[in-house]
Structure 1
């Protein structure tokens, strides 16, 4: 399955590259009482189509902030963020929500499936929130479930399926439609080792089929599925040998 990422024609910026995601000197600060906290400090990163990049670092190093900014959940204090060459650094809340719905898929440790919706309904939800009819959205969701070898679970609720199956449904929801930028925050954290390996295999397949992804993980064995690994400490990119200093 391929997930082409279209540009947002409502913005005046002209695409400058074919990279899936590009961060240019991104800094994010916030106030903590009288103190200014730097969550990200001058991060530059290029994510190519078909590339999976693992993000590692200690708690509080800026990993989640990096994902939030990459997925337009948050805006940089300075610097630029480009998705498919289009600048998304300073979108209105409505425009940012549209980018997320249409172009960016999130996968979380706790799955974040809607408990009152079936597997098919969860996967179809991003399409239904757009301009796709319920019937068309369900048809596409069933196609995704078939691809994931989960067609038999279409009408089951999250409480009726295993953790590994729930995470695969979440991946299907993240990639339905034209979205091909996948942001995964500890997607194997709630799974046992064997099930986690299965989820990583699925993520790798989706990237190899034309997606691109950032994977936050603290497990080297899961980071090994990525094409490369970057390391954060105190909001800054560091060399891998610095991890041990």
Structure 2
């Protein structure tokens, strides 16, 4: 994408000078410090960095699950900080798909019911929502899990159901926190291919990962350290990413 084209497009996600502080006084922790980031339609961004660098905080703010201490977060041009609770919930259901590390599936609902719930809350009929859920399960290669409950699934199966829930409907922004963590390498690559295809179809995605080979699926890799964006690079291949990531890990804060 040229700079001219990029300027004309409204980012799906825009973080403007975002800061997040936890605690007060001596217990204060700056989780994010003045982060500026845009993710455009069709773009897949990977976020890497050491433990405690602010990666998960970045995702929760991007998805409207937390509020920044400073700056603002915009999804499709809408500032999340200016929305009441009902409007914010609508944005999260309609525009944002979130893949959590701990799945967050509802035990009393089947896989298909877990996946279709956000669509039903938006007013879609149960039948239509189930049809969409079955398509999402098929996309992830697990149609046989439709009527199975979370307790009857392996961790990897639950993870794929959670990803299917994040992809159902016309979600313009997909946020994924270590989405391949519970999956074997073959299944993990298949999931990343699905995320890549969703971006190629026009959505935007941001994924936290510690694996350079997974980040190689992205268009761009953003590196965080101590809550700051310290570097970003265009993704080319896993080998070059390993070199870049290693170099960043050795950087000493100025």
TM range (shorter): 0.7 to 0.9
Greater share of residues in helix? 2
2:180 maps to which of 174, 188, 191: 188
Match of 2:149 among 148, 151, 157: 157
In the TM superposition, what is the alpha-carbon distance from 1:33 to its structure 2 partner?
5.3
Give yes or no for the alignment of 1:137 onto 2:129: yes
Q: Which residue of 1 aligns with 2:3?
A: none
- Distance in 2, matches of 1:242 and 1:168, equals 31
Structure number with higher relative contact order (C-alpha < 8 Å, ≥ 6 residues apart)? 1
Q: Which runs of 5+ in 2 are unaligned?
A: 1-7, 232-243
Q: Unmatched 5+ residue regions in structure 1? A: 1-15
- Normalised by the length of structure 2, the TM-score is 0.83
Shift of 1:32: 4.3
Give yes or no for the alignment of 1:224 onto 2:216: yes
Seen in structure 2, the aligned counterparts of structure 1 residues 231 and 118 have a Cα distance that, compared at 3 Å, is same
Q: Between Structure 1 and Structure 2, how many residues are aligned?
A: 230
Q: What TM-score, normalized by structure 1, do the two folds share?
A: 0.85
Could you say which residue in structure 2 is the equivalent of 1:76? 68
Task: Give 1:16-31 correspondences, 5 Å limit.
Answer: 18-31=10-23
The equivalences for 1:7-22 within 5 A come to 18-22=10-14
Inter-partner Cα distance in structure 2 for 1:217 and 1:37: 22
User: Residue 200 in 1 paired to residue 206 in 2?
Assistant: no
Q: Aligned residue for 1:210? A: 202
CA RMSD of aligned residues (A): 2.0
Aligned equivalents of 1:127 and 1:100: distance in 2? 11
- Residues 1:112 and 2:96 aligned together: no
Corresponding residue number in structure 2 for 1:123: 115
